[in-house]
Amino acid sequence: MRAEIITIGDELLIGQVVDTNSAWMAQRLNEHGIELYQITSVHDDREHIIKALDEAFGRVDIVLTTGGLGPTKDDITKHVLCDYFGTHLIEDQRVRAHIYDLYKARPDVLNRLTATQWLVPESAEILPNRVGSAPLMIFHKGDRILASMPGVPYEMEIAMEEQILPYIIDKRQKTVSLKDKRPIIHKTLQVTGIAESSLAILLEDFENTMPEGLHLAYLPKDGVIRLRLSSYGALTEDEMQTYFDRLKDLTNTYLVADTDEPLEVIVGRLLKAKGATIATAESCTGGKLASLLNKHPGSSAFYFGSVICYDNSVKEQVLGVSSEMIKAHGVVSEEVVRVMAESVHELLGTDFSIATSGIAGPSGGSDAKPVGTVWIAWATPQGTSAECFHLGKLREQITDRACVKALVGLIKRIK
């Protein structure tokens, strides 16, 4: 069973909005064994949308669209779908009641444009949108279906989770033969400290002896390579595990994780298992590392807090780095970053801490310490250690990579 996504909106094609929806939907579809064949982003334009629908239905059975469902003039998806499926708009009293309920605290929103939101295509199945005003619509074209959802990410996510995915899965149970229910399995491990091409040579025999239908993909990012093994109905779970275990053995020296989890999730799991806590003292990463550590629910169990010491005065006054030390060694130095790490873990009373100090650029570099130089220190119950890295030339790349190095270094030290 294959699906395609069509994302609708001029904002995607002028680059005003990054399409984060498609990746989220792709993950959920794959987890349920539905292969995503293509993602297409089109303008809020009648002919363009219709062309994309025709092409998608020529390839797959399930088409998911996002966007273009707002109450304003630029949103035309509902009208285009009406024409495409040969139907027209009627009032839906359930949707009307839902919208009245949704805006009961904000009666000013119940204006005549909002009233267009309870006009729905007569032939479509209408599913409730618990968190927004635009109803979810499912259209049928023979055996094939189209589901239309809002483009607002959290509305789309709740719609997919609670309505659209269960609908598709239920439909598949009823109509698809067993053969087509073969599992899609993806397993990912993460390695560091080896170049992509060297890794590929290391894995050459493994790759050459993989059975048909098994794929290995290399995804390098910020100094970590994710190695993804994918089976599209070729292997059972057990067979897949055997190949994955072999891959783990072969890459063992470089292995950071044997899951696709974000590094900060792995850190959180390791810290929680130890009942340990952590703080950060950040200069060049400027709070990015803190944000990662508290991004996920439950982080208050291990993450205490941070001192972001962007200006040297904060390093001196809050973290006790002496101005003499800064003069002698520079602010991007092993000496300073060690003091930062030790101070913040004493100040906040945590078991572990990480400190970063580097030159994120574009200015501030020198011959001795070019842009991209980053010192990272880790204070642990076993003592403090520090490393120096050279992380490229671009500001965002440098700070992203510094966070990866900081987390990888912590994982090694906790283990």
305-324: which residues touch a second copy (CB under 8 A)? 305-311, 313-314, 317-318
- Report the C-alpha gap between 289 and 205 in whole angstroms: 38
Which residue lies nearer to a second copy by CB, 71 or 413? 71
* 198 touching a second copy, by CB under 8 A: yes
* 27 touching a second copy, by CB under 8 A: yes
Beta-carbon contacts of 88 under 8 Å, excluding residues fewer than 6 positions away, are 82, 121, 122
- Report the C-alpha gap between 191 and 189 in whole angstroms: 7
Residues 253-292 that bind a second copy (CB under 8 A): 260, 277, 280, 282, 286-291
Identify the H or E element spanning 52.
Answer: helix 46-57
Residues 144-173 that bind a second copy (CB under 8 A): 152, 154
Pick one of 211, 362, 370, 381: the residue that binds a second copy (CB under 8 A). 362
Pick one of 50, 76, 109, 276: the residue that binds a second copy (CB under 8 A). 109
Which residue lies nearer to a second copy by CB, 87 or 347? 347
CA distances for 380 relative to 255, 277, 279, 410, angstroms? 21, 10, 11, 9
* 209 touching a second copy, by CB under 8 A: no
Residues 391-410 that bind a second copy (CB under 8 A): 392-397
Stretch that binds a second copy, among 195-203, 247-255, 373-381, 407-415 (CB under 8 A): 195-203
Size of the site for a second copy (CB under 8 A): 107
**CB distance 297 to 335 below 8 Å:** no
Pick one of 193, 349, 370, 381: the residue that binds a second copy (CB under 8 A). 349
CB of 86: closest distance to a second copy in angstroms? 25
DSSP type of residue 132: S
* 182 touching a second copy, by CB under 8 A: no
- Report the C-alpha gap between 321 and 326 in whole angstroms: 7
Which residue lies nearer to a second copy by CB, 30 or 87? 30
Which residue lies nearer to a second copy by CB, 136 or 359? 359
CB of 166: closest distance to a second copy in angstroms? 19
DSSP type of residue 389: E
Q: Terminus-to-terminus CA distance in the chain, angstroms? A: 42
Which residue lies nearer to a second copy by CB, 260 or 334? 260
Q: Which amino acid is at 283?
A: S
CB of 141: closest distance to a second copy in angstroms? 21
Distance of alpha carbon 70 from the chain centroid: 25
**CB distance 91 to 118 below 8 Å:** yes
Query: Going along 129-282, which residue ranges are E strands?
Result: 136-141, 144-149, 184-192, 214-221, 224-232, 255-257, 278-282
DSSP type of residue 102: H
Pick one of 37, 104, 122, 169: the residue that binds a second copy (CB under 8 A). 37
Instruction: State yes or no: cis peptide before 166, omega within 30 of 0.
Output: no
Site string for a second copy, 67-106 (x = CB under 8 A): ---xxxxx-------------------------------x
- Report the C-alpha gap between 334 and 321 in whole angstroms: 12
